[in-house]
């Protein structure tokens, strides 16, 4: 354990946000691995590739912030507090996050918190689950001649919710492949909103659960039935849903890389 009490005049540590990618440790970046290997303190999430923690120094302090005490709404403030406290104590801190820190990852809030506290912070982007999870399941989000755009949308705030900033009817007409993250529980409402917005109920759809992990499984149906099919298959988070013509593709030979 190298976490130390602050000493007067000592240099402050640097905070590095590292994107962990979708789950396979081989999909962490080279710069991300170097940052993990050099860190004094590592704050990890629930969804990071655990095997990547083997790259840490034997004396590094690893803190699983999924287990940080406090209610759900206070977690982020507590994480920010820990980042600042350890950096102020002179430790180089890695904030190791699932996926990409900036795709629904609240990385921006952590950067601002560090800056406000006078702590130097930097980001090493990760492989985004939104793109890589469909890819390793054989579904490219774009395909020449088929589609020229894709939209990644959070299902955490469902259609019609007062906090929603998304016009689902416009998305239904946009012609882009739709990728729904964090939408297992709201998939039924999302599919309804898209059909109401004019998207063909027969549009291909696929849910990829545990993407890039050995437990990966894919449920395929059409837009009208995908929520029921995923529910019947017992799909739970984390899962990525793809809606659009590419969801009917099943490209050969896809693989996720490998563990270190």
In the window 169-188, what residues touch a second copy (CB under 8 A)? 170-176
Smallest separation, CB 141 to a second copy (Å): 6
Among 1, 59, 67, 255, which one carries the catalytic annotation? 67
Smallest separation, CB 208 to a second copy (Å): 13
Q: Mention every residue, 6+ apart, whose C-beta is less than 8 A from residue 232.
A: none
Q: Mention every residue, 6+ apart, whose C-beta is less than 8 A from residue 231.
A: none
Cα 172–chain centre separation? 24
126 lies in the site for a second copy, by CB under 8 A: yes
Can 45 be counted among the known catalytic residues? yes
Among 182, 188, 222, 259, which one carries the catalytic annotation? 182
Tell me the two tokens of residue 130.
Answer: 């939104």
H or E element that contains 239: strand 239-243
23, 78, 110 from 97: Cα distances, Å: 11, 15, 11
- Binding test (CB under 8 A) with a second copy, winner from 124, 193, 226, 239: 124
3 lies in the site for a second copy, by CB under 8 A: no
Can 182 be counted among the known catalytic residues? yes
Stretch that binds a second copy, among 57-65, 66-74, 87-95, 165-173 (CB under 8 A): 165-173
Give the span between the Cα atoms of 195 and 18, in whole angstroms.
38
- Binding test (CB under 8 A) with a second copy, winner from 80, 151, 186, 203: 151
Give the span between the Cα atoms of 30 and 5, in whole angstroms.
31
Q: Mention every residue, 6+ apart, whose C-beta is less than 8 A from residue 109.
A: 76, 80
Tell which positions 38-97 bind a second copy, by CB under 8 A: none
Q: Which is nearer to a second copy, 141 or 207 (CB)?
A: 141
Q: Which is nearer to a second copy, 19 or 220 (CB)?
A: 19
- Binding test (CB under 8 A) with a second copy, winner from 46, 57, 167, 237: 167
- Binding test (CB under 8 A) with a second copy, winner from 84, 87, 114, 243: 114
4 lies in the site for a second copy, by CB under 8 A: no
> Phi/psi at 27 (nearest 5 deg)?
-95, 5
């Amino acid at each position: 354990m190298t976490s130390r009490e602050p000493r007067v005049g000592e240099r402050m540590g640097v905070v590095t946000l590292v994107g962990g990618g979708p789950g396979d440790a081989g999909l962490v970046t080279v710069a991300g691995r170097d940052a993990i290997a050099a860190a004094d303190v590592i704050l990890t999430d629930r969804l990071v590739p655990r095997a990547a923690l083997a790259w840490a120094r034997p004396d590094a302090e690893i803190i699983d912030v999924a287990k940080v005490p406090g209610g759900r709404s206070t977690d982020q403030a507590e994480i920010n507090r820990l980042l600042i406290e350890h950096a102020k104590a002179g430790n180089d801190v890695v904030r190791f996050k699932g996926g990409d820190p900036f795709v629904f990852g609240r990385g921006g809030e952590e950067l601002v918190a560090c800056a406000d506290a006078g702590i130097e912070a930097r980001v090493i982007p990760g492989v985004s689950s939104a793109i890589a999870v469909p890819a390793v399941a054989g579904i490219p989000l774009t395909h020449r001649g088929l589609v020229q755009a894709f939209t990644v949308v959070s299902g955490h705030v469902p259609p019609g919710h007062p906090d929603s900033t998304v016009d689902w009817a416009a998305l239904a007409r946009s012609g882009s492949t739709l990728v729904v993250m964090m939408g297992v529980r709201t998939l039924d409402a999302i599919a309804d909103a898209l059909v109401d917005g004019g998207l063909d109920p027969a549009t291909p759809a696929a849910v990829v659960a545990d993407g890039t992990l050995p437990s990966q499984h894919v449920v395929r149906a059409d837009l009208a039935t995908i929520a029921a099919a995923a529910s019947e298959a017992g799909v739970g988070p984390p899962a990525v849903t793809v809606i659009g013509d590419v969801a009917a593709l099943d490209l050969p030979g896809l693989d996720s890389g490998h563990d270190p």
